[in-house]
Structure 1
Amino acid sequence: MRLIRPGRLAACLTALLCLLSLALPALAQDDLDGLLPVTEAYKLSTDTSMPGVLKLHWTIAPDYYLYRGRMKFKAGDGVTLGEAQFPDGEKHHDEYLGDVEIYHHSIDATLPYTVAGASRLKLSVQYQGCHEVDPKICYPPHTEQLDLPLPAGATQAGGDGSLGAALGKLGSNRASDGGALPAEQAFHLEALAKDHQHLLLRWTLPKGYYLYRDQTALKLKDADGLSLGKPEWPAGVEHEDAHFGKTTVYFDQVELPVTIQGDASGRSTVNLEASFQGCQDGGLCYPLMTRTLAIDLGGAAPTSGTASEPAPEMPPAELAGGALQGSLISALLLALVGGLVLNLMPCVLPVLSIKAVGLLESGESHAKARSHALFYTAGVLSTFALIGIAIVALRSAGHALGWGAQLQQPLVVGGLACVMMAVGLSMSGVVQFGTSLGNVGSSLASRSGHAGDFFTGVLAVAVASPCTAPFMGSALAYAFAAPMLHALLVFLTLGVGLALPFLAVGFVPALARLLPRPGAWMETLKQVLAFPMYLTAAWLVWVLAHQRGADAVGLVLVAAVLLAATLWWFERSRSRGGLSKVFVALLAALTLVPLYYLAHVPPPAQAATVAEGVVAYTPEKLAELRKAGTPVFVDMTADWCVTCKANEHAVLDTEAFRELLKKTGAVYMKGDWTDVNPTIAAFLAQYHSPGVPLYVVFPKDGRDGRKLPTVLTTSLVEEALTKAAGTPVASNP
């Protein structure tokens, strides 16, 4: 019998193979000529450089394979083994074993272990495989005995059989020789209470260290019925890990808001137990660390879980960022000023056309002016409230969200482009939704114009979202991390600031009298002001082209043509019968078809490109540049961010800026947040930025980066880069 297979009675067949090899040596020799010895068909090598983890590698010869399910490990004296981790194998149907997984070419596996009182790692490894080309021969199970040296520090384990015990003193052993830091220094944890129900935890890590998100567990000790809600993790960095596979990690610093569930108003402190794990990038991984922190709910200084060193001072709230510790009153004042300044930003200028005509039309009556103002303000405030509720809800569900992030969705961009097109056609006179421009909104309009005023306010907020005005960033940063009620107050105050000029004209007769009197000239003005609407629609289509390519642009242009046809026929149907109105509804439904397909267009296959002399942002590249002592100017931007584009035109895309980079030896690094990008979202969260633009200058001496204002000037950038490079600042005599 030339073909030997392992069957369900593997032991019996193995014995039969041995008998045949003894009784018929000549025949067996003929059949087995050319068959590799088992240790050459499957060459096993090991790596014990990582304490507590044995790495195994099999090099599998061509035409051979290994069974995944036939691998077994047996610990030697003083060794405790964990569960081995294997990659997924190839699906294979075996005549006797049924559906199995096999490996060709090579396989890498990891095996956790602990040792207690042993100087070497001893274990046995059993495996089995086959030669799959005629003659097909399957080896009997083969066992290798391993006797391996242990890495430094691995023999410090206690007898509890845990990986944490095996590595318990690893940090202190390695710190003295210039290797890894002690765990307390590598993963510094501190906490504070924002109020009796909301905690904020902060891990601060040196360069080159990272923290696992999914290996972190939090609980309250002796809490008398209190518990912790789901932590609100910010977006992290995707990391391929040898132990945990694809996981999320955090570098440098991470802040974690946590809610206390239950009534904690009667308590002055809570004891929080935090268990977490992390690694040195490219080096060792630390055991599971557990620290207990006593947190003062009365708003005392931050509490650190490290008893051997004082907790560093938390940064105060300031306009440059970190508004988490700012008071609610400060955030509201910043929001009011930011919303007021938002009226002057280029993103809101198209809607100023609508507001301007509405104000002029109301000049004949103070009562009408007040009505315009109130309903417009109601639309603004309602929209800001909805945005605030959505952000808080998504944040509670663990999603990272930023100001203007809705424009990362192609359907939103395409739909908004169609809305701006419809508004422009209305102002051009193609269609009339009522007696005043304020009645934009088709069936939403009413004789009194209240619905039109309201939805003009909605539109104002929609087009304002790509902009971040001065003072507004810190207020939004506070809102994105604050309790729900505080966040809503901040968003509503932003709305009050945006609507304030309109309110002032509506309720202060002296200001209203400064407006020109209504007349026939207003129709011409209205038609002229339609063109900013068309330009806004064109800009949104340009943004869409960067997000989803030419197919998406084609779809939104088809939707725009169908929308124009719908509005044209809507105007003609006023004097026609009911069948004509049915045709309007049909055209409107057809307009939605290309928008439906737009939502399913995938991103372009090619990677995003950056301009010559610009480095694409990655955390690894930034860490590499900082380690080399290179000053770095990081620019987080998006195509839909009007403030970003204004800064680029005025400062960053100029010859003066390029000369400044050469003079200071700085690198210009850009991150594109036009589409959803968790890595950039993590960087924004690290610097408490609610959205883009975000500018951070990192000095060459390795100190923390300096966050710049959202609106740049040439002198501001020059000063920041000159200081980062450590060169003398020129001064006038």
Structure 2
Amino acid sequence: MSLNNIPSYHPGESMRHRITGFVLAWLILIGLGANLTQAAETKLSLLLDKIEATPGETVLAGIRLELKEGWHTYWRYGGDAAQPPRITWKLPPGITAGNIRWPLPVKEESSGLYSYAYHDDIVLLVPLTVGSDLKTGSIKLNADVFWLECKESCIPRNGTVSRTLKIGATDKSSPEASSLAAWNNKVPPPAVDLKFKADWSKSMADDERQLTIELAEKQGFYFKDFYPFENEDYEIGGKTTFEKAEGKSLSLTKTLLNWGETWPGKISGVAVLAKQNGENTRAYEISVTLGEGFETEKASTTLTIPASGNAAPEGAEATPVEESRGGWPLMLLFAFVGGFILNFMPCVLPVISLKILGFVHQSKEQPRRIFQLGLLYGVGVLFSFWILAGLVIGVQSAGNLANWGMQFQNPQFLVLMTLLVTLVALNFFGVFEITGGRLTSAASNAASRNGNMGAFFNGILATVLATPCTAPFLGTALGFAFTQPPAGILILFTAVAMGLAFPYILLSWNPTWLGILPKPGAWMERFKVFMGFPMIGTAIWLYTIARLHFGEKGDLWMGLLLVFVAMAAWVYGEFVQRGSSRKGLALGVSAACLLFAYGWILEKELNWRDPVGPVTTNAGNVSKGKNGILWQPWSEEAVATARAEGKVVLVDFTAKWCANCQINKKTSIEIDKVHQKLKSISGVTFKGDYTFYDSRITAQLQKFGRSGVPLVLVYAPGAEPPILLPELLTPGIVLEALEKASGKS
């Protein structure tokens, strides 16, 4: 959207003013270019059983994932904390993709969590139907693939594969045909001649029941296990209890957790069976109606979907697990409401001061002009969120995990933001002015008579300062967004942007609501100076984070950097803008300060392009909180060991740049009541410091559906899943979770 196309925008506005606004916007956004790269451990390819097919025939396609030794991915139902691969086909008209055919996985257990995994090499099979009226010639088959690549932690990966298929008069097999046929034999077929029945055996809680599945006698098989398909209304646990020994039992029992309004009437999955001697394992796909006696599985039908759709069977939808628990409408609402609430978080306070000044200025403007500037502010917010969405898409396309606020882990971005906010604060104090044909500050320019670019810039600044904060609903929406394909990420980020900009656009739309604001006057200059203090506070906060990236030199040279930049701004404002003589000398001194700040401090002393970096924060000695809580460095192994010893465990994934994290720590975690509760239950605490990028913590955020920190977990002893605490805590929430985990609630 071009700013020149906005109604009432004056093309004669000075070029210098436009360039100034562009430079300020660029200064913020340049830091967003930091990328996280890590080579994928999986080789992705597309196999076809035919190199030439005739119209009306079916071609068997295979998405092959060749995993390096020690790595794994997941089945159509991943288990307690995993996601299945997704395939999005991009096919020409006349080609339709069928359901994915999933080979039998391996069931695994770790720390009480069950998963269904593939190791080493796996081929996911998809039948492609060639339309009977398709003309001869060559066609391109394309597929976008998402999968989790896991070892000690999981990394989401995305890849694209393509092959050319010839449509001709005869069918010609490919060299891959025999391999695909072998993989097809590993797909569990429907249990056409075997009889099963299922019924509830015990009610455990309001939303939990025990489910018993029984195999009819004298069929020559016994149960080894049952692998359930994923369902949006319920979840069947991985733990299996047998009537007799495994491989010698005709029935097994599983626990079902119900999310729907009614209990399911039919259960689908894979029955893993064995002969009487426990050998010769077979697997069959079954679907059993509860409480109706023994049934014989009917032959299944094949469902085809449009060529542009996602091929996935029931329980293996092309969208992530989280979508089924709320759906797009709810996630879009969460994104909008979360963006709206961001306006009231501490991170955005400095920008609110800019908007207050802007609204006061606007109170005497024409309604059309007021609405125009409100829209420009919204465009700035939207533009910034699209930049963030592009960054997320780029990071994930490189095969890495993205997270909310990840730019605050980038030292170049932090340095630029610290300098920018410092300059804005100095401008508020009147140290120097940004000219736009006449003296007026950038803050006053925001949404003022000549403030088109200022309004746009304020929208960008609001977005950047909002990212270290999270808000209720926002974490859920963004956690969902980070599992979506690029279009989904863009849509959800747009919804957050609309929520953030909504109150200002609404006020601009009805200017009569601005009547509650005082009239413009001399008080505005004093208010502007007063609001410089929150800005300088923000700059100090950014400084404390940025300096950590530069080792022992960080404190001194980051401080001197700000001193020399501030000196350059003062000399420029005092002797160039307000002085009457020797302006050339003053301009030279100001430029010299900036050159020294960049050349000597940034490049030589701080080596800001490739800083030494911090000492690893999630390893080393135990640290002690203000109220005596002992924080051990977090690792999955340490948590598992503590739980095995019968300990209640509290894990706090936090970051120094995360405002919500610091609020939670001071008000709800490092307090006397929590300390005493931890002592009374012999609880232990672990801290995962995410101030600097840590792929293990990123994987934990993905695992628990969070877009970023804070993430606070409370584990009971043993193998039960953890209690996931909300983003914003109260002492009562933390104490209740500890009480529940200790078994005393």
- Quote how far apart the aligned CAs of 1:521 are: 0.6
SS of equivalent to 1:697: strand
1:638·1:673 contact (CA, 8 Å) conserved in 2?
Answer: yes
Counterpart Cα distance in 1 of 2:411 and 2:118: 30
- Find the counterpart in structure 2 of residue 570 from structure 1: 572
- Find the counterpart in structure 2 of residue 695 from structure 1: 712
Q: More displaced, 673-682 or 607-616? A: 607-616
- Quote how far apart the aligned CAs of 1:625 are: 1.9
- Quote how far apart the aligned CAs of 1:664 are: 2.9
- Quote how far apart the aligned CAs of 1:322 are: 3.9
- Find the counterpart in structure 2 of residue 486 from structure 1: 488
- Find the counterpart in structure 2 of residue 411 from structure 1: 412
The answer to whether structure 1 residue 595 and structure 2 residue 602 are counterparts is yes
1:433·1:441 contact (CA, 8 Å) conserved in 2?
Answer: no
Please tell me the residue identity of whatever aligns with 1:683: Q
Matches within 5 A, 1:171-186: none
Alpha-carbon displacement from aligned partner over 1:398-445 (angstroms, at most 9, x marks no partner): 122211111111222222111111010000011112479773599x99
Counterpart Cα distance in 2 of 1:457 and 1:645: 25
Counterpart Cα distance in 1 of 2:424 and 2:590: 18
Which of 553, 556, 560 is 1:554 aligned to? 556
SS of equivalent to 2:432: coil
- Find the counterpart in structure 2 of residue 618 from structure 1: 635
Please tell me the residue identity of whatever aligns with 2:363: G
Counterpart Cα distance in 1 of 2:444 and 2:116: 50
Could you say if the C-alpha distance between residues 188 and 537 of structure 1 is closer, same or farther in structure 2, counting changes exceeding 3 Å?
closer
Could you say if the C-alpha distance between residues 331 and 530 of structure 1 is closer, same or farther in structure 2, counting changes exceeding 3 Å?
same
Could you say if the C-alpha distance between residues 357 and 290 of structure 1 is closer, same or farther in structure 2, counting changes exceeding 3 Å?
farther
- Quote how far apart the aligned CAs of 1:699 are: 2.0
Alpha-carbon displacement from aligned partner over 1:312-347 (angstroms, at most 9, x marks no partner): 99899xxxx945754222111101100111111111
2:422·2:539 contact (CA, 8 Å) conserved in 1?
Answer: yes
Which of 421, 439, 450 is 2:442 aligned to? 439
- Quote how far apart the aligned CAs of 1:476 are: 0.4
The answer to whether structure 1 residue 525 and structure 2 residue 527 are counterparts is yes
The answer to whether structure 1 residue 660 and structure 2 residue 666 are counterparts is no
- Find the counterpart in structure 1 of residue 339 from structure 2: 339
2:146·2:156 contact (CA, 8 Å) conserved in 1?
Answer: no
Counterpart Cα distance in 2 of 1:445 and 1:232: 46
- Find the counterpart in structure 2 of residue 162 from structure 1: none
Counterpart Cα distance in 1 of 2:555 and 2:185: 53
- Find the counterpart in structure 2 of residue 712 from structure 1: 729
Instruction: Structure 1 unaligned segments of length 5 or more: list them.
Output: 1-183, 237-248, 264-272, 276-287, 729-733
- Find the counterpart in structure 2 of residue 422 from structure 1: 423
Counterpart Cα distance in 1 of 2:79 and 2:364: 70
Please tell me the residue identity of whatever aligns with 1:206: E
Counterpart Cα distance in 1 of 2:122 and 2:556: 49
Counterpart Cα distance in 1 of 2:477 and 2:345: 17
2:125·2:184 contact (CA, 8 Å) conserved in 1?
Answer: no
Over the residues paired in the alignment, what is the CA RMSD in angstroms? 4.5
Counterpart Cα distance in 2 of 1:293 and 1:337: 45
Alpha-carbon displacement from aligned partner over 1:77-131 (angstroms, at most 9, x marks no partner): xxxxxxxxxxxxxxxxxxxxxxxxxxxxxxxxxxxxxxxxxxxxxxxxxxxxxxx
Q: More displaced, 546-555 or 715-724? A: 546-555
Please tell me the residue identity of whatever aligns with 1:462: V
Alpha-carbon displacement from aligned partner over 1:172-203 (angstroms, at most 9, x marks no partner): xxxxxxxxxxxx99999974769767999999
- Quote how far apart the aligned CAs of 1:473 are: 0.5
Could you say if the C-alpha distance between residues 416 and 293 of structure 1 is closer, same or farther in structure 2, counting changes exceeding 3 Å?
farther
Instruction: Structure 2 unaligned segments of length 5 or more: list them.
Output: 1-76, 91-96, 130-139, 165-176, 190-229, 236-267, 273-282, 288-312
Counterpart Cα distance in 2 of 1:452 and 1:330: 34
Could you say if the C-alpha distance between residues 480 and 700 of structure 1 is closer, same or farther in structure 2, counting changes exceeding 3 Å?
same
- Quote how far apart the aligned CAs of 1:214 are: 9.0
1:257·1:481 contact (CA, 8 Å) conserved in 2?
Answer: no
SS of equivalent to 2:363: helix
Alpha-carbon displacement from aligned partner over 1:546-587 (angstroms, at most 9, x marks no partner): 443341232322221222123223323246666765665554
Which of 672, 677, 682 is 2:694 aligned to? 677
2:359·2:447 contact (CA, 8 Å) conserved in 1?
Answer: no
1:189·1:304 contact (CA, 8 Å) conserved in 2?
Answer: no
2:89·2:143 contact (CA, 8 Å) conserved in 1?
Answer: no
Could you say if the C-alpha distance between residues 233 and 561 of structure 1 is closer, same or farther in structure 2, counting changes exceeding 3 Å?
farther
- Quote how far apart the aligned CAs of 1:545 are: 3.9
- Find the counterpart in structure 2 of residue 686 from structure 1: 703
Alpha-carbon displacement from aligned partner over 1:605-645 (angstroms, at most 9, x marks no partner): 57565325222110111121223332211110001000000
Could you say if the C-alpha distance between residues 216 and 634 of structure 1 is closer, same or farther in structure 2, counting changes exceeding 3 Å?
farther
SS of equivalent to 1:391: helix
Counterpart Cα distance in 2 of 1:667 and 1:494: 37
The answer to whether structure 1 residue 649 and structure 2 residue 666 are counterparts is yes
1:228·1:261 contact (CA, 8 Å) conserved in 2?
Answer: yes
2:652·2:713 contact (CA, 8 Å) conserved in 1?
Answer: yes
- Find the counterpart in structure 2 of residue 52 from structure 1: none
Could you say if the C-alpha distance between residues 194 and 217 of structure 1 is closer, same or farther in structure 2, counting changes exceeding 3 Å?
closer
1:358·1:438 contact (CA, 8 Å) conserved in 2?
Answer: no
1:439·1:446 contact (CA, 8 Å) conserved in 2?
Answer: no
Work out the number of aligned pairs and report it.
506
- Quote how far apart the aligned CAs of 1:544 are: 2.8
- Find the counterpart in structure 2 of residue 124 from structure 1: none
SS of equivalent to 1:665: coil
Could you say if the C-alpha distance between residues 259 and 562 of structure 1 is closer, same or farther in structure 2, counting changes exceeding 3 Å?
same
- Quote how far apart the aligned CAs of 1:532 are: 0.7
- Quote how far apart the aligned CAs of 1:397 are: 1.1
Counterpart Cα distance in 1 of 2:425 and 2:83: 54
Counterpart Cα distance in 1 of 2:529 and 2:444: 17
Larger Rg: 1
- Find the counterpart in structure 2 of residue 452 from structure 1: 454
Please tell me the residue identity of whatever aligns with 1:614: W
Counterpart Cα distance in 2 of 1:205 and 1:364: 69
- Identical residues among aligned pairs (%): 29
- Find the counterpart in structure 2 of residue 399 from structure 1: 400
- Find the counterpart in structure 1 of residue 509 from structure 2: 507
Could you say if the C-alpha distance between residues 665 and 378 of structure 1 is closer, same or farther in structure 2, counting changes exceeding 3 Å?
same
1:466·1:642 contact (CA, 8 Å) conserved in 2?
Answer: yes
Could you say if the C-alpha distance between residues 586 and 664 of structure 1 is closer, same or farther in structure 2, counting changes exceeding 3 Å?
same
Q: More displaced, 213-222 or 192-201? A: 192-201
Please tell me the residue identity of whatever aligns with 2:466: A
Alpha-carbon displacement from aligned partner over 1:135-163 (angstroms, at most 9, x marks no partner): xxxxxxxxxxxxxxxxxxxxxxxxxxxxx
Could you say if the C-alpha distance between residues 685 and 513 of structure 1 is closer, same or farther in structure 2, counting changes exceeding 3 Å?
same
